[in-house]
Amino acid sequence: MACKGSLLIVARERGRFSWHKVYEPQSYYFSYKEAIAVTVEVYKSLKEDLLYERMNTKMIFRIKKRFIMCLIFILIFNLNITTKALENKNNKAIKQDLLCLMLAYPEDITDIKVNDNGLIYIKMKSQKLILYDDKKTKTIEEKINNADLQDTMEQLYPLSFPKGLMEKNFDPGRLRNYELLKEVYGSTKSSVEANLKKANIGYGNLQFNGNNNAAKELSAAIKEAATMSKGNENIRRALFPTSGTFNYRNISGTNRLSPHAFGIAIDLASNKNDYWKWASVKEGEKRLLTYPKELVNIFENHNFIWGGKWNHFDILHYEYRPEIIIKARYFSGKIEDDSVWYKKILLDNIEVKEKIEYINKVIN
């Protein structure tokens, strides 16, 4: 929680009570704990003055009463400002997510709609509306099984190389919104297959989804990595032979489609300690720390996320998720209450600037 501005508090001056500014915080916002702490200190000071001057009981009662009123004022003021501050932060996060989605799927997302209940939808070129946030409180399992767009964007993907396995249930990008994936890459096996293109990997071709530049970006990433592998044995062993791309199947042990079913994921060279179900935490972490970060950087530069940055590690797995990478690239910092929600560098691009202006218009 945070208050805004300076702390006003009741104080005695020449036998009368008045409000005084007694605390000027370093930052624009300060916590209610700070406010109460300062209030208590002022009360102690008043009490000492009263004892020193041997004021009567009636006066002491009046000061205690005003002290309590002061605390009530602080708490009410604080809750009001806190609610507005949280709404402001949430509003900025919503706008950031929507911009990332629009930049990631420019040919598929055509508009943003807000209904009478304040629910936000993205509109697809098929005219389908996909809900951004269902406003439901969910467990991690419920999010995995039925993620809305906000759920999928909630955890910020780190672009830095990990120093160990991620903390429990930190799996940025592992949550998927299937309505979006089906709209972009195909809603059935036959429609996905119709969108598959051949991605050249140097020694052959792999099937990958041609929509939204997925196959193009895979080919570019493999070509760059193959060139680098010629002088780096560690990269070569992690890169080749690849373990598979398109495979219309469910994720093992679930009824959810794998990203491989949409032709947007590739498993590179396999190691027995690559997957959280195959290996212990110790084995997985050891494998992670010896993995070539140069290879990860190449794929991330082409809008692929890496399963090595999940607590449920999947170290051989790369998945084409441009919205996750775009958010990591431009919105990795803490949201400040008094700042604009976008990076000013984005305004250099006319199309991006127009999207920012449109989002500001739609989301008040």
pLDDT for residue 355: 97
C-alpha 123/C-alpha 98 separation (Å) is 11
**pLDDT band at residue 343 under the 50/70/90 scheme:** confident
Token pair for residue 38? 């300062």
Residue 161's alpha-carbon distances to 133, 174, 298, 324, in angstroms, are 30, 18, 12, 16
Q: Is the dihedral of CA 250, 256, 258, 264 positive or negative?
A: positive
234 or 3, higher pLDDT: 234
pLDDT tier at 333, thresholds 50, 70, 90: confident
* Alpha-carbon gap, residue 355 to 360, rounded angstroms: 9
User: What is the domain partition of the chain in residue ranges?
Assistant: 3-90, 156-333
Cis before 241 (ω within 30): yes
Give me the pLDDT at residue 264, please. Answer: 98
DSSP 129-196: EEES-------HHHHHHS--HHHHHHSPPP-SPPSSPPPTT--TTTS--HHHHHHHH-SSHHHHHHHE
Least confident of 24-33, 54-63, 166-175, 338-347: 24-33
Predicted TM-score (pTM) above 0.85: no
Structure confidence at residue 49 as a pLDDT band (50, 70, 90): low
Q: What is the mean pLDDT of residues 186-204?
A: 92
Of 14 and 38, which is predicted with more confidence?
Answer: 38
Q: 20-25: which pairs have CB atoms within 8 A and are 24 or more residues apart?
A: none
Confidence tier at 80 by pLDDT (50, 70, 90): very low
The answer to whether residue 56 scores a pLDDT higher than 90 is: no
pLDDT digits (tens, 9 = 90+) for 203-237: 788 999 999 999 999 999 999 999 999 989 999 99
β-partners of residue 271 are: none
